[in-house]
Amino acid sequence: MRKTDISKYAGGRNVDKENVSTAKSVFKMILRCITTIITVFVIAGAIVSVSLFSYIYSMKNESVDYDLHKLQLNYTSFIYVNGPNDDASNPVKYQSLYSSENRIWVDYDKIPKAMKDAIVAIEDKRFWEHKGVDWKRTFGAAINLFDIFQSNGGSYGGSTITQQLIKNITGDNEVSLTRKVKEIFRALNLEKKYSKEEILGAYLNVVPFGSGCNGVQTAANLYFGKNIQDCDIAQCAAIAGITQNPTAYSPLTHPEKNKDRQQTVLKAMHDQGKITDKEYQAAVKESENMKFVGKKAEDVVDENSVWNWYTEAVFEDVKNSLMETYSCSSDKAIDMIYHGGLKIYSAVNSDLQETAENVFNDGKTFPSAYPNLQGGYVAMDYNGRVLAIVGSKGKKESNRLFDLATDAKRQPGSSIKPLAVYGPAVNAGLINYSSLVNDEPLPNWKNGQPGPANWDNRYHGIITVEKALEQSYNAASVQVDKMLTPNVSFNFLREKLGFTSLEPADNTLAAMAVGGMTQGITVKEMTAGFQMFGNGGKFYKPYTFYYIQDHDGNVIVDNRNEVPVQSISSSAATVVHKLLNNVMAHGTGIAANISGWDVFGKTGTTNDNKDSWFVGGTPYAVAGVWTGYRTPKVLTKYETPVAKTVWKNIMTQYLKGKEKKEFDLDQNVRPFKFCVESGLLVNPGVCTETKTGWYDINKLPATCNIDHGGSGSETDSSSSAAGNSSSTGDSSQAGDDFPELPSQQPDSGTESGTHSSETSSKGNKNSSKASSRQGVSKPDDQSWRQDSISPDE
């Protein structure tokens, strides 16, 4: 063979080697990729497994903080109120609380064996063997997620009797894996605390058995007209079959479905050896022609069957407190109230409650020409104690009604201004009592139009804070809140004043500065917010009861040591208090003023005039009133003032005969004369018009030094003015107020802690009027103006 031929074969062998080498490389690359992917999955799986295990382990101590033994209590609960003269040290029994609920506890040893066997056979056949969780059923349910997530309804999936009992006590029916894991640990821990007999006994007494029945005793009464201990095997099976779906298997409404389910229960009992062949056959035969009685339990009537509005509020607050304390459902909390023998110490002031109810129902306060005009009322002291509640006008004819004072959310209009704007702005040092603000519209308020409008359809230029709040000018309030920002106002209401009814969409100038909320605010929230202007800037969470004792005398909920939130400084609260004194003496609150008393307050009317408010305080109490219609409609000029009339009538009667008392105001806040034109402290001989304002002595404004000849100067000032500025407006409702006519001035008298107003005997009075209405004439260099003017001006 020639060399050339040999060379050809040799070259072929080299090609084969190269092909093999390439294949090996590709294989190694693929192997590396697979190994990398597997490694990533293993590591990720490990991380997820560790995280999942840690999460599950963190719930190992989940338990039900509820005493099963107290489920059997059937004691009447009582509400106590303060003794004569509102004496909290001498409470007296006021009202009993019990219901006609169809539940009768029967002891475990009186429940027939057939009833226990029937429920175990159909609901949890390994009940006596497991420790709260049937792991075989649980894993089976986990394989079929549909089963595990159907546990709140017609099927309990992998749930044991212990787990079902927990679900009934807590009312926790959330469809989630987290809820299921919690339920598992709760069941395991419950079985460490109670015996199987205690758990089964509790279950048979609280689980619903259709047609309003809770427990086997009432089910036996209703369906067979007998006690449970007298029921035979077939009847026990009929009752046991209901639990899976109390609506679908109720024998009164679906007898055929109940019969089928009943026979399923009997078969399970027979298959598990709980009944003999003879017993099984007899029970099945009986089930074919079973008759149901449908006997109703007699109603229990309370001697005070219709509660007043305050008792209504106490009931709801006690229920919510028990739900939080015991992590239980609303139904279980109500069961505790009606059957737990609780002693509830109400915080009501009986005299004020009676007065408020009488005013609401006397037929005079609310114009007789408008019989459907409604209202809500809440009064509090300055430490969170709710003194009185009226949830509507007219005779109250049933219980647990919709309450216009605590449930209804209504737009507050201008009554929100002290809370959302002026209070936090004074606290932040943005304004003081006499700071200048610009009562001018924003150019793009609503639909491209300037606004908001004022009640008199005018804008007043540069005015003092005192004047802005006194006359409740909307444009001025918006300018101040623009400096403060709506976000600060929004967070202040939620975090410092406990408002829960605000919506995210309320974080706007329209909502915060003039009260155009998405939903609105309750009278209770508004009243609680105004506390801070009478107690040094503190917010106390409102409470309607002092404390609750259980049947054994243990205090289980206590509101007596409420820790307040310091919402604004004491000095800021006092400054706003004085501004609101001025509203009562010279502004929109004149009709509600009470001669001889230090009264602060604020009106509120929405721009569509569908809601009217007055919220204000005296040294003894702060109170809020809303008036309007259940289905909102425009109020007439005769209906709008009713809120002020109601407030004044109730408060005047409440104060009658009481010893004169002063607010505990900040001693660092003192009166000084200020120049209306500049908002600065008076410089004798310089200012045309002067008034008295109130200032923190550590934050005094500068002294005015206006040169009316066309130039002027001032010393360093802590005051500020909101200038003309632009902002995109909001289409929400805004607040307007309507001042009283001169003929509606209150009776003459001195006001404690009073505002005084005076015009200097020197100077041009015409110039004074022009400056207060239109803003002062500005020198060319404008050096008289405040330092902190909005950059948009």
Lowest mean pLDDT, pick from 38-47, 85-94, 615-624, 754-763 = 754-763
Please state, for a pLDDT cut of 90, what percent of the chain lies above it.
Answer: 60
pLDDT at 589: 97
Kindly report the CA angle at 779 between 773 and 781, in degrees rounded to 5? 135
pLDDT at 719: 38
Q: How confident is the model at residue 149 (pLDDT cuts 50, 70, 90)?
A: very low
Closest CA relative to residue 65, chosen from 241, 317, 326, 280 = 326
Question: Is 78:344 a contact under the CB 8 Å cutoff?
Answer: yes
Rounded-to-integer distance, Cα 690 and Cα 683, Å: 10
Q: How confident is the model at residue 108 (pLDDT cuts 50, 70, 90)?
A: very high
pLDDT at 727: 34
Q: How confident is the model at residue 56 (pLDDT cuts 50, 70, 90)?
A: low
DSSP state of 418: I
What's the pLDDT tens digit per position in 253-311? 999 999 999 999 999 999 999 999 999 999 999 999 999 987 554 433 344 578 999 99
Q: Are strands 87-97 and 343-346 parallel, antiparallel or unpaired?
A: unpaired
Exposure letters 619-633 (e unless 16+ CB within 10 A, then b): bbbbbbbbbbeeeee
pLDDT at 184: 85
| Same domain for 133 and 17 | no
Q: What is the CATH number of the domain that holds 509?
A: 3.40.710.10
Rounded-to-integer distance, Cα 255 and Cα 365, Å: 57
| Same domain for 47 and 161 | no
pLDDT at 728: 32
| Same domain for 134 and 52 | no
Question: Is 682:700 a contact under the CB 8 Å cutoff?
Answer: no
| Average pLDDT of the residues in 363-386 | 92
Tokens found for residue 113:
């064996």
Rounded-to-integer distance, Cα 767 and Cα 676, Å: 11
What's the pLDDT tens digit per position in 579-593? 999 999 999 999 999
Average of per-residue pLDDT values in the chain: 82
| Same domain for 237 and 175 | yes
Kindly report the CA angle at 510 between 504 and 511, in degrees rounded to 5? 45
Tokens found for residue 229:
């201990």
Rounded-to-integer distance, Cα 618 and Cα 603, Å: 15
What's the pLDDT tens digit per position in 305-317? 789 999 999 999 9
Q: Does residue 770 carry a pLDDT above 80?
A: no
Q: How confident is the model at residue 177 (pLDDT cuts 50, 70, 90)?
A: low
Number of domains composing the chain: 3
Considering only residues 368 and 172, tell me which one the structure prediction assigns the higher pLDDT: 368
| Average pLDDT of the residues in 391-409 | 94
| Same domain for 244 and 118 | yes
Q: State which of 245, 272, 288 marks the end of a domain.
A: 288
CA 428 to chain centre: 27
Considering only residues 414 and 70, tell me which one the structure prediction assigns the higher pLDDT: 414
Tokens found for residue 395:
């005779």
Q: How many CA atoms lie within 13 A of 47 on its CB side?
A: 5
- Is residue 732 one of the residues assigned to a domain? no
Closest CA relative to residue 646, chosen from 628, 619, 661 = 628
- Is residue 423 one of the residues assigned to a domain? yes
| Average pLDDT of the residues in 129-149 | 68
- Is residue 49 one of the residues assigned to a domain? yes
Q: State which of 617, 640, 655 marks the end of a domain.
A: 655
Q: Does residue 717 carry a pLDDT above 80?
A: no
Closest CA relative to residue 388, chosen from 496, 321, 312 = 312
pLDDT at 53: 59
Q: Does residue 594 carry a pLDDT above 70?
A: yes
pLDDT at 581: 98
Q: How confident is the model at residue 711 (pLDDT cuts 50, 70, 90)?
A: very low
Q: Are strands 555-558 and 545-549 parallel, antiparallel or unpaired?
A: antiparallel
| Average pLDDT of the residues in 93-119 | 85
DSSP state of 398: S
| Same domain for 271 and 141 | yes
- Is residue 694 one of the residues assigned to a domain? no
| Same domain for 538 and 597 | yes
CB atoms within 10 A of CB 562: 13
CB atoms within 10 A of CB 196: 17
Q: How confident is the model at residue 89 (pLDDT cuts 50, 70, 90)?
A: very high
CB atoms within 10 A of CB 57: 10
| DSSP SS3 for 161 | helix
Q: How many CA atoms lie within 13 A of 739 on its CB side?
A: 20
| Same domain for 281 and 139 | yes
Closest CA relative to residue 577, chosen from 662, 516, 697 = 662
Rounded-to-integer distance, Cα 784 and Cα 786, Å: 7
SS3 letters for 723-762? CCCCCECCCCCCEECCCCCHHHCCCCCCCCCCCCEECCCC
| Average pLDDT of the residues in 545-558 | 95
Q: What is the CATH number of the domain that holds 264?
A: 1.10.3810.10
The continuous run of DSSP H or E covering 567 comes out as none
pLDDT at 755: 38
The answer, yes or no, to whether the previous bond of 452 is cis (omega within 30 of 0) is yes
The continuous run of DSSP H or E covering 396 comes out as none
Tokens found for residue 159:
């749930």
Tokens found for residue 141:
């349910």
Rounded-to-integer distance, Cα 273 and Cα 371, Å: 70
Q: State which of 270, 288, 306 marks the end of a domain.
A: 288
User: CB under 8 Å to 102, separation ≥6 — which residues?
Assistant: 212, 213, 214, 218, 222, 297
| Same domain for 186 and 53 | no
| Average pLDDT of the residues in 104-117 | 92
Tokens 């004491």, residue located: 570
| Same domain for 118 and 257 | yes
Rounded-to-integer distance, Cα 748 and Cα 204, Å: 71
Q: Does residue 326 carry a pLDDT above 60?
A: yes
Tokens 């003039």, residue located: 514
- Is residue 166 one of the residues assigned to a domain? yes
Lowest mean pLDDT, pick from 209-223, 385-399, 559-573 = 209-223
Residue range of the domain that includes 451: 387-394+402-545+564-632+651-655
Q: Does residue 1 carry a pLDDT above 70?
A: no
Q: Cα dist. 590→172, 351, 423, 504, 653 in Å?
A: 52, 26, 21, 35, 18
- Is residue 346 one of the residues assigned to a domain? no
Considering only residues 120 and 26, tell me which one the structure prediction assigns the higher pLDDT: 120
Tokens found for residue 749:
């008298």
| Same domain for 114 and 22 | no
CB atoms within 10 A of CB 264: 16
- Is residue 70 one of the residues assigned to a domain? no
Q: Does residue 346 carry a pLDDT above 80?
A: yes
Closest CA relative to residue 257, chosen from 267, 249, 266 = 249
Question: Is 370:639 a contact under the CB 8 Å cutoff?
Answer: yes
| Same domain for 540 and 435 | yes
- Is residue 467 one of the residues assigned to a domain? yes
